[in-house]
Each structure stands twice: as structure tokens, then as C-alpha cells.
Amino acid sequence: MADMRAKSPSREEIERRAYEIYVARGRQSGRDTEDWFAAENELAQLAVTGSRTSNTQSRESNTNSMSKPKSIAAGRDRI
């Protein structure tokens, strides 16, 4: 019988998505934890449903004030 559990997103996947959220919001600092949890929740939902939710898509279009998680701040600005 196949394992029906969704695979949890990796730290690297969360980090990458949190950075994308940060960039989409204009690279403003101060909301790194919010970005991280938004990315984690979005990817977990994606793993379960196989697609992004409309709430996630609308949140992406209204991004103006988020920042990337501090844990990924070092090194990513050099890309």
C-alpha cells in the first residue's frame, strides 16, 4: 500500500520561498519570522494539496513590507 503522507518541506525549500517573499515585498527588513512561517505554511499546504491556495496567491500580489528571515540574510544579498 502506498504511503499517503505528504512530504514536509525541507529547510532549504522554506529558506528559498521565504527569500522570494522578502524580495517580492521590496527587500524591507523586520518581518523575517513572518516570512519564514508564511513560506513554511505555504509549502506544507502545497505538499498536501499539490497546488497553491488562492489566499497564498493573493498574498503574493500584495507584498510590500516583508523581509527575508535573518537566518538567510547573510550571503543571499550577494546573488
51-62 pLDDT per residue, tens: 655 444 545 444
Asked if residue 3 is part of any domain, the answer here is no
pTM beyond 0.75: no
Q: Looking at the 3D structure of the chain, how many domains does it have?
A: 1
What integer pLDDT is reported at residue 7 of this predicted model? 81
**Residues whose CB is less than 8 angstroms from the CB of residue 36 and which lie 6 or more positions away in sequence, other chains included:** 14, 18, 69, 71
Per-residue pLDDT at 79: 44
Is 64 a domain residue? yes
Q: What average pLDDT is seen over the chain? A: 75
**Does residue 16 lie in a domain region?**
yes
Contact yes or no for 67/22 (Cβ under 8 A): yes
Cα 48 from chain centre: 16
Domain containing 51: what range?
Answer: 11-73
Q: Is residue 79 a part of any domain in this protein?
A: no
3-state SS string over 7-76? Answer: CCCCHHHHHHHHHHHHHHCCCCCCCHHHHHHHHHHHHHHHHHHCCCCHHHHHHHHCCCCCCCCHHHHHHH
